[in-house]
């Protein structure tokens, strides 16, 4: 990267890890990836690793637990590394992945105290993610108040759904309070929708089911580039079984656990978020790779259930669009497991899916035969790249307003 260049940072914080990407930016071009890294083992065995855009190692450092005890300390370590590596670069903006934007936020937004307060209210809707996504914002606001921060929401891409798709059959006052189906992984789906015209132009304006399959899994019906419906709802628990999350569940099960089994609300939360899904079904692991390698019947059951639910939801989402032209696999499992892709497509062959085994093993992008009525694709997602694009757009707009203000032109009302 050239010295003196403006840079943009993308941050994705978890409970014990901090992922980051560094992009160079200018006035006109798209953001250019410079480095990608993470600090994991925060508070236990902290390790900072980073690679450049070509995959070459830039950093691999370990620290004592007390040196990186929390996310704020991890941000400091990343900041020190950035200043050492890119001494004359100018950090102008930070983009954050935020799990839940609630009914209020349908697009990326500049972060200020009011926004942070509003996002706090959505913590109960995404308890595994939201608190960790908000911590870096507060830390950066305190330590680097001049840097523009942008919140990019996993729910925003789905906000154009028709009301009939977002409603639960509950009283209207609850809907108005925000009890509705939101959908998640929107940054991933938005990225795929933007990539389709280049990768698969014949289906870009058609009816596509995108399968974001990873530790957290969901699926989305996209028609003409817009989200029509999603398997996730009010929280990121709904829909498919995931690594440790239950997926779709009769709410009567929760009532049973509370009234007959003596579970507390916290016990139920811990069960449904941490002890369910593939881990709960198999009793072995939440990692598909471990389950594929295991001969234990419980591992087979967990994978059979996962494949069954993915195939079932393909049919459901096809119905939501009145038809289907293609299926796209993305995220960790979707991009890297030919076996899961093949099994899902075999269960969905009634729709017209017909997988080319060699193309599937090679990873695509197209993994179906040309004659197949419904095509199948593998398209790697890039949520960080999507966040970088949104952050750059917001920063440019912010700079434009500042320029107008300095010229004596009043800024437009918010």
The residues that are catalytic are 154
On whether the CB atoms of residues 145 and 99 are closer than 8 A, the answer is no
């Amino acid at each position: 990267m050239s010295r003196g260049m403006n840079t943009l940072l993308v941050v994705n914080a978890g409970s014990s890890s901090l992922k980051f990407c560094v992009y160079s930016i200018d006035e006109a071009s798209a953001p250019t990836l410079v480095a990608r890294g993470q600090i994991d083992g925060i508070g236990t065995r902290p390790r900072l690793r980073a690679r450049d855009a070509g995959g070459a190692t830039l950093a691999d450092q370990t620290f004592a637990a007390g040196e990186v005890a929390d996310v704020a300390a991890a941000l400091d370590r990343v900041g020190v590394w950035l200043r050492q590596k890119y001494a004359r670069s100018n950090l102008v903006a930070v983009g954050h992945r935020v799990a839940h934007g609630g009914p209020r936020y349908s697009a990326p937004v500049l972060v200020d105290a009011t926004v942070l307060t509003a996002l706090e209210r959505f913590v109960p809707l995404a308890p595994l993610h939201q608190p960790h996504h908000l911590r870096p914002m507060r830390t950066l606001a305190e330590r680097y108040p001049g840097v523009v921060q942008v919140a990019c929401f996993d729910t925003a891409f789905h906000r154009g759904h028709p009301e009939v798709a977002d409603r639960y059959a509950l009283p209207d006052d609850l809907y108005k309070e925000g009890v509705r189906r939101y959908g998640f992984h929107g940054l991933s789906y938005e990225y795929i929708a933007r990539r389709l015209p280049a990768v698969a132009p014949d289906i870009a304006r058609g009816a596509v089911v995108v399968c974001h399959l990873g530790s957290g899994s969901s699926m989305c019906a996209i028609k003409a580039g817009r989200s029509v419906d999603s398997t996730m709802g009010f929280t990121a628990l709904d829909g498919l079984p995931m690594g440790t999350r239950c997926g779709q569940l009769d709410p009567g099960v929760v009532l049973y656990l509370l009234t007959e089994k003596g579970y507390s609300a916290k016990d139920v939360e811990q069960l449904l978020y941490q002890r369910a899904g593939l881990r709960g079904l198999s009793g072995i692991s939440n990692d598909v790779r471990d389950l594929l390698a295991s001969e234990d019947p419980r591992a087979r059951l967990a994978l059979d259930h996962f494949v069954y639910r993915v195939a079932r939801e393909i049919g459901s989402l096809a119905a939501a669009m009145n038809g289907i032209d293609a299926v796209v696999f993305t995220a960790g499992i979707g991009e890297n497991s030919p076996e899961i892709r093949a099994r899902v497509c075999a269960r969905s062959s009634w729709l017209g899916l017909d997988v080319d085994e060699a193309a599937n093993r090679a990873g695509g992008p197209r993994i179906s035969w040309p004659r197949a009525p419904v095509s199948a694709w593998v398209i790697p997602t890039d949520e960080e790249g999507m966040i970088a694009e949104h952050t750059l757009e917001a920063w440019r707009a912010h700079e434009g307003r500042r320029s107008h203000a300095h010229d004596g032109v009043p800024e437009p009302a918010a």
